[in-house]
């Protein structure tokens, strides 16, 4: 005779033995004590959480011959008959194999009026009730609504959405939850002690984590491990059987991300791939680990993390090395790697995982400002026309600022401006040399203030992140979701989003939520030194503010010969706009006259 499966041997037989469903247990106990037994119950929840076990316990309790407080006793003839599967008044129906209306009529409807033979109540347990057809539900509906006084229906399902609302409304509904990992480990320890087998705590934690709240899966896996190893079940045996990645290797990989060391992360991936680790499982476990770090860093409830207290304390130290925005980005990268690894690229199957490691490790590392051309970053020298040098940034900003760096295009102004039209100067008489009359126009104060404010925001981005982390950490994640700072115009901070980028419109809407908007404006006002408000706009709809900058007409020293009558003609006005930074440089170096004019505008054409 085949040995009995461990999950059947250790199936819960009383209310006290049912793990992780205390609210449901207490409710049914009180109903039994007060004799308020309903005619129909609906048990719904994930698989392996005790729905059918609870149905059998309830069937014993309502028929038990012991005192109400001791039910079920498992000692009376009714309890023993149910435990031994020989109770004729307990009818268990598998709805998956009895879906038709004829099956329902034959099994339930035609026999429900017969009184129980030996018990007080006739119990119908219909498992996976959502598999019944529409006709079967309709046929059962009237009987379920007004059954005979000696009949109790107990319906169980893992997909309550497929059960008609008319059926749900006629039952008392109980939602079973996934069993927490701590309670599952304690139950596995009790089973190992009763079976006289030893198991490491890390091994039981790995089993419970792999079971994802399903007690039946955990006990089945424990049964398999008892046949796999020796007297002691170790974590290495569990990892070998499940094909999971050692937790120490995941910790090494995350340490490499925290240290911005992609080489160390790639070494971990290489070592694990050569040992035959399933790469998608590695990516999934990394996502779970990073999620736990994020929850620990944000002060999440320990029930959401569902890890031992010792592990949480160790991970808390590791979480301090990360920025919340970096963790969010890393979780997205490795989640995408799980999807990309389905392709299983021949030759380099771990490529998607390696790309995620490099991208996550480089995120937040000190790097040169992105998208800045050499011409734009070069300092102002001589008479050359160039963009102002980019000030070094102390801390690498998030995407919201990193993407907002302007790109210099040769021959084009970096700011959308229109120079004020210049009045052509009258040509001097022949043979007369025109003396220079140096006049400098002051730089536009509004333009300079706006450029300075945006620069201040970039240079103090570390302060902005610190304030947001203390006041509203979710904003850090929103600012990395496809939005970027475009400009600071007077007291308005312009934030743009790319409508074609996935998630960017959602991030823009989140920024405009009252609490998020007020917090971000308060932080920006504190950093920029004055009241500022934010404006969120689509990038393709944003037009920089047009300003008029007075230009300088500086005639060039020309010696006009009498033989050249073309010199009498007017000079054409150049089309290049004045550059405040170049103009200031000319003022500092003392360049005057023709040198200054040639640096700011095109030369006059002498005809």
Instruction: Report all structural domains of the chain as residue ranges with CATH numbers, in order of start.
Output: 6-175 (3.40.50.300), 181-242 (1.10.8.60), 247-362 (1.20.272.10), 446-541 (3.30.300), 551-607 (no CATH)
Tell me the pLDDT band of 545, cut-offs 50, 70 and 90: low
Residue 602 and residue 607: Cα distance in Å, rounded?
15
Q: Please check whether residue 218 is in contact with residue 188, taking contact to mean a CB–CB distance below 8 angstroms.
A: yes
DSSP category for residue 124: E
Q: Please check whether residue 478 is in contact with residue 510, taking contact to mean a CB–CB distance below 8 angstroms.
A: yes
Task: Give the β-pairing of 483-489 and 151-157.
Answer: unpaired
Q: To which residue do tokens 């008479």 refer? A: 383
DSSP lists the bridge partners of residue 497 as 483, 538
Residue 493 and residue 451: Cα distance in Å, rounded?
12
Angle in degrees, CA 173, 176, 180, rounded to 5: 160
Tell me the pLDDT band of 313, cut-offs 50, 70 and 90: confident
Between residues 140 and 342, which one has the greater pLDDT? 140
- Contacts of residue 429, defined as CB under 8 A and 6 or more positions apart, other chains included, come to none
Q: To which residue do tokens 């680990």 refer? A: 289
Q: Which of 546, 592, 600 is nearest to 573 (CA)?
A: 600
Q: Please check whether residue 242 is in contact with residue 220, taking contact to mean a CB–CB distance below 8 angstroms.
A: no
Residue 62 and residue 604: Cα distance in Å, rounded?
105
- Contacts of residue 524, defined as CB under 8 A and 6 or more positions apart, other chains included, come to 457, 464, 493, 532, 534
Q: Which of 491, 524, 497 is nearest to 509 (CA)?
A: 497
DSSP category for residue 391: P
Can you say how many angstroms the Cα of residue 558 is from the centroid of all Cα atoms in its chain? 68
Query: What was the pLDDT predicted at 2?
Result: 65
Q: Which of 419, 460, 465 is nearest to 600 (CA)?
A: 419
Beta strands (DSSP E) in 247-381 are: none
Query: What was the pLDDT predicted at 441?
Result: 42
Judged on CB neighbours under 10 Å (0-12, 13-18, 19+), 381 is exposed
Residue 361 and residue 330: Cα distance in Å, rounded?
8
* pLDDT tens per residue, range 214-230: 999 999 999 999 988 67
Residue 337, pLDDT > 60, answer: yes
Q: Please check whether residue 31 is in contact with residue 38, taking contact to mean a CB–CB distance below 8 angstroms.
A: yes
Q: How far is CA 561 from CA 244, 250, 566, in A?
A: 91, 83, 10
Element (H, E) at 296: helix 279-297
Tell me the pLDDT band of 468, cut-offs 50, 70 and 90: confident
Q: Please check whether residue 417 is in contact with residue 403, taking contact to mean a CB–CB distance below 8 angstroms.
A: no
Residue 132 and residue 164: Cα distance in Å, rounded?
10
Query: What was the pLDDT predicted at 307?
Result: 74
Q: Which of 198, 292, 197, 212 is nearest to 244 (CA)?
A: 212
Tell me the pLDDT band of 419, cut-offs 50, 70 and 90: very low
Q: Please check whether residue 404 is in contact with residue 486, taking contact to mean a CB–CB distance below 8 angstroms.
A: yes
- Torsion angle defined by CA atoms of residues 191, 193, 195 and 199, in that order, rounded to the nearest 10 degrees: 80
Q: What is the pTM of this model?
A: 0.57
- Contacts of residue 267, defined as CB under 8 A and 6 or more positions apart, other chains included, come to none
Between residues 517 and 51, which one has the greater pLDDT? 51
Query: What was the pLDDT predicted at 138?
Result: 92
Q: Please check whether residue 229 is in contact with residue 221, taking contact to mean a CB–CB distance below 8 angstroms.
A: no
How confident is the model over 80-101, as a mean pLDDT?
92
Element (H, E) at 175: strand 172-175
Query: What was the pLDDT predicted at 224?
Result: 92
Query: What was the pLDDT predicted at 531?
Result: 87
Q: Please check whether residue 524 is in contact with residue 534, taking contact to mean a CB–CB distance below 8 angstroms.
A: yes
Reduced to 3 states, what is the DSSP secondary structure of residue 438? coil
Between residues 457 and 18, which one has the greater pLDDT? 18
How confident is the model over 49-53, as a mean pLDDT?
95
Order of strands across the sheet that contains 492-497: 483-489, 492-497, 533-538
Residue 411 and residue 579: Cα distance in Å, rounded?
12
Q: To which residue do tokens 């009184």 refer? A: 115
Q: Please check whether residue 450 is in contact with residue 487, taking contact to mean a CB–CB distance below 8 angstroms.
A: yes
Residue 511 and residue 522: Cα distance in Å, rounded?
13
Residue 357, pLDDT > 60, answer: yes
Q: Provide the mean pLDDT of the chain.
A: 77
Query: What was the pLDDT predicted at 301?
Result: 66
How confident is the model over 561-573, as a mean pLDDT?
39
How confident is the model over 62-72, as a mean pLDDT?
90
> Encoding tokens for residue 506?
């959602």
Tell me the pLDDT band of 128, cut-offs 50, 70 and 90: very high
- Torsion angle defined by CA atoms of residues 502, 504, 506 and 512, in that order, rounded to the nearest 10 degrees: 180
Residue 184 and residue 208: Cα distance in Å, rounded?
6
DSSP category for residue 480: T
% of the chain beyond a pLDDT of 70: 72
Half-sphere exposure of 175 toward its Cβ, with a 13 Å CA cutoff?
5
Residue 98 phi, psi dihedral angles, 5° rounding:
-130, 60
Q: In the chain, how long is the greatest CA-to-CA distance?
A: 134
Can you say how many angstroms the Cα of residue 275 is from the centroid of all Cα atoms in its chain? 30
């Amino acid at each position: 005779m085949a040995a009995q499966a461990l999950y059947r041997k250790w199936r819960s037989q009383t209310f006290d033995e049912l793990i992780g469903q205390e609210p449901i247990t207490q409710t049914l106990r009180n109903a039994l004590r007060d004799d308020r037994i309903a005619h129909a119950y609906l048990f719904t929840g994930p698989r392996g959480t005790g729905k059918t076990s609870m149905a059998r316990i309830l069937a014993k309790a309502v028929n038990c011959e012991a005192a109400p407080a001791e039910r079920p006793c498992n000692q009376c003839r009714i309890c023993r008959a149910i435990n031994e599967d020989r109770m004729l008044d307990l009818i268990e129906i598998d709805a998956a194999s009895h879906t038709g209306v004829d099956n329902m009529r034959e099994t339930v409807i035609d026999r429900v009026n017969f009184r129980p033979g030996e018990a007080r109540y006739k119990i119908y347990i219909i498992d996976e009730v959502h598999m019944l057809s529409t006709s079967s539900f309709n046929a059962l509906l009237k009987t379920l609504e007004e059954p005979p006084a000696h009949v109790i229906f107990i319906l169980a399902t893992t997909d309550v959405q497929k059960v008609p609302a008319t059926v749900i409304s006629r039952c008392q509904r109980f939602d079973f939850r996934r069993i927490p990992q701590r309670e599952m480990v304690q139950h596995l320890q009790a089973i190992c002690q009763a079976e006289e087998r030893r198991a490491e705590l890390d091994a039981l934690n790995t089993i419970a984590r792999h079971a994802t709240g399903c007690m039946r899966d955990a006990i089945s896996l424990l049964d398999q491990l008892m046949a796999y190893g020796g007297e002691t079940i170790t974590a290495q045996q569990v990892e070998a059987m499940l094909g999971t990645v050692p937790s120490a290797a995941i910790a090494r990989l995350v340490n490499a991300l925290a240290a911005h060391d992609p080489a160390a992360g790639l070494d971990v991936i290489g070592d694990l791939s050569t040992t035959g680790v399933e790469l998608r499982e590695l990516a999934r476990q990394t996502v779970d680990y990073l999620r736990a770090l994020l929850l620990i860093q944000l002060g999440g409830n320990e029930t959401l993390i569902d890890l031992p207290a010792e592990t949480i304390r160790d991970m808390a130290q590791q979480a301090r090395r990360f920025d919340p925005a970096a963790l969010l980005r890393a979780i997205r990268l490795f989640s995408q790697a799980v999807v990309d690894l389905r392709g299983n690229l021949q030759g380099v199957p771990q490529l998607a995982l390696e790309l995620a490691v490099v991208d996550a490790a480089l995120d937040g590392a000190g790097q040169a400002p992105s998208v800045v051309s050499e011409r734009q970053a070069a300092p102002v020298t001589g008479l050359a026309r160039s963009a102002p040098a980019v000030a070094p940034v102390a801390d690498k900003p998030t995407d919201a600022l990193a993407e907002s760096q302007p790109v210099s295009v040769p021959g084009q102004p970096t700011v959308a401006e229109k120079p004020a039209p210049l009045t052509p100067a009258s040509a001097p008489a022949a043979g007369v040399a025109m003396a220079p009359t140096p006049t400098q126009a002051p730089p536009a104060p509004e333009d300079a203030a706006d450029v300075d404010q945006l620069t201040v925001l970039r240079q103090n981005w570390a302060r902005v992140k610190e304030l947001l982390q203390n006041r509203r950490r979710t904003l850090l994640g929103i600012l990395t979701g496809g939005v970027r700072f475009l400009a600071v115009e007077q007291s308005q901070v312009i934030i743009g989003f790319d409508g074609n980028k996935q998630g960017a419109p959602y991030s823009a809407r989140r920024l405009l939520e009252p609490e998020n908007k007020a917090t971000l404006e308060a932080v920006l006002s504190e950093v920029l030194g004055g009241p500022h408000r934010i404006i969120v706009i689509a990038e393709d709809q944003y037009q920089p503010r047009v300003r008029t900058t007075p230009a300088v007409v500086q005639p060039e020293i020309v010696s006009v010969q009498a033989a050249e009558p073309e010199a009498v003609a007017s000079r054409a006005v150049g089309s290049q706009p004045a550059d405040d930074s170049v103009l200031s440089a000319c003022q500092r170096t003392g360049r005057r006259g023709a040198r200054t004019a040639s640096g700011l505008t095109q030369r006059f054409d002498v005809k």
